[in-house]
Amino acid sequence: MSRAARASIDLDAIRHNYRLAKSQAPAARAAAIIKAGAYGHGAVAVAGALKAEADAFGVACIEEAIELRDAGIEQPVVLLEGFFEADELEYIARHNLWTAIHSPHQVEALARAQLPAPVNVWLKMDSGMHRLGIEPENLRATYDRLRSLGQVAEITLMSHFACADELDLETTRQQIACFDRAVEGIDAPHSLSNSPATLAWPEAHRDWLRPGLMLYGATPFLVEQEQAARLEAAMTLTSEIIAIHDLQPGDAVGYGAGFVCERPSRIATVAMGYGDGYPRHAANGTPVVVNGQRTVTAGRVSMDMMTIDITDIPGAGIGDRVELWGKQLPVSEVAVHCSTIPYTLLTCLTPRVPRVYE
Tens digit of each residue's pLDDT (9 = 90 or more) over 54-90? 999 999 999 999 999 999 999 999 999 999 999 999 9
Look up 278 and say whether it is catalytic.
no
> Which pLDDT band, with edges at 50, 70 and 90, does 310 fall under?
very high
From the annotation, which residues make up the binding site? 131, 303
Q: Helices marked H in the chain — which ranges?
A: 11-24, 35-40, 43-50, 62-70, 89-94, 104-112, 139-147, 171-183, 195-200, 331-337, 342-347
> Which pLDDT band, with edges at 50, 70 and 90, does 1 fall under?
low
d(CA 339, CA 309): 21
Please pick, among 39, 124, 216, 255, the residue that the annotation labels catalytic.
255
Please pick, among 18, 22, 35, 274, the residue that the annotation labels catalytic.
35
Look up 255 and say whether it is catalytic.
yes
d(CA 252, CA 264): 12
Question: How large is the average pLDDT for residues 299-316?
Answer: 97
d(CA 129, CA 39): 22
Is residue 48 pLDDT above 90, yes or no?
yes
Question: How large is the average pLDDT for residues 172-188?
Answer: 98
Question: How large is the average pLDDT for residues 164-184?
Answer: 98
CA angle 205, 63, 96 (to 5 degrees): 60
The 10 Å CB-count burial string (b at 16+, else e) for 170-185 is eebeebbebbeebbee
